[in-house]
Amino acid sequence: MTQYLRQHQNKKALIAIFITLSAVAVPMFQYNSIHLLLFNFYNQRFELFFHAWEVNTAGLINIFILFAAAVILLFNFTYSRYFCGNICPKTLLNNLFTDIIETRIFHLFKIKNRDDEQSFEKNRLKLFFAYAFLAVVIIFGSMPIFFYFIPYDIFFSMLKNYFLGYRFLLYIWILSAIYLFAEILFLKEFFCAYICPYQLVNSITVNEQRGFYTFDTKEKCIDCEACVNVCPVPELDVRKGYDTRCIACGDCSAVCHDVMQKRGGERSLIEYKDFIKRKSLPYLSFAGRRTSLLLIALTLAGSSLIVYYLISPEHLSSCNIANAFLYRD
Ligand code: SF4
Ligand code: SF4
Q: What is the pLDDT of residue 111?
A: 44
The rounded Å distance from CA 84 to ligand 1 centre is 23
Q: Which ligand is nearest to the CA of 252?
A: 2
Verify whether ligand 2 is closer than 6 Å to residue 247 (CB atom).
Answer: yes
Atom of ligand 1 nearest to the CA of 215: 7
**Which residue, 281, 233, 255, is CA-closest to 85?**
233
DSSP state of 238: G
Q: What is the pLDDT of residue 120?
A: 62
The pLDDT tens digits of the residues spanning 235-293 come to 899 999 888 888 888 999 999 999 999 988 778 999 887 655 544 444 555 556 677 77
The rounded Å distance from CA 260 to ligand 2 centre is 17
* Cα gap 10→240, rounded to integer Å: 27
Neighbours of 114 (CB within 10 A): 16
Give residues with Cβ within 8 angstroms of 250, minimum separation 6: 8, 12, 85, 86, 213, 272
pTM for the model: 0.81
Assess whether pLDDT exceeds 90 at residue 312. no
- Residue of the nearest CA to atom 4 in ligand 2? 246
Overall average pLDDT of the 174-180 stretch: 91
Q: What is the pLDDT of residue 206?
A: 52
Assess whether pLDDT exceeds 50 at residue 112. no
Q: What is the pLDDT of residue 319?
A: 78
- Residue of the nearest CA to atom 8 in ligand 2? 249
